[in-house]
């Protein structure tokens, strides 16, 4: 994670981070 307080569900995440979250969610929830 970017920091101890990083929230994976943060809708304000930057582009690359948000994309990584979307990819991770897709892999975890096919």
The pLDDT value recorded for residue 12 is 57
Q: Which two tokens stand for residue 4?
A: 């101890």
The pLDDT value recorded for residue 2 is 53
Phi, psi of 16 (to 5 degrees): -60, -40
Q: Which two tokens stand for residue 5?
A: 């307080």
6-24 pLDDT, tens digit each: 555 555 556 777 788 888 9
Residue 9: CA count within 13 A, CB half-sphere: 0
Q: Check residues 1 and 21 and name the one with the higher pLDDT.
A: 21
pTM comes to: 0.42
């Amino acid at each position: 994670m970017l920091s101890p307080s990083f929230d994976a569900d943060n809708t304000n995440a930057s582009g690359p981070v948000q994309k990584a979250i979307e990819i991770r969610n897709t892999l975890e929830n096919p």
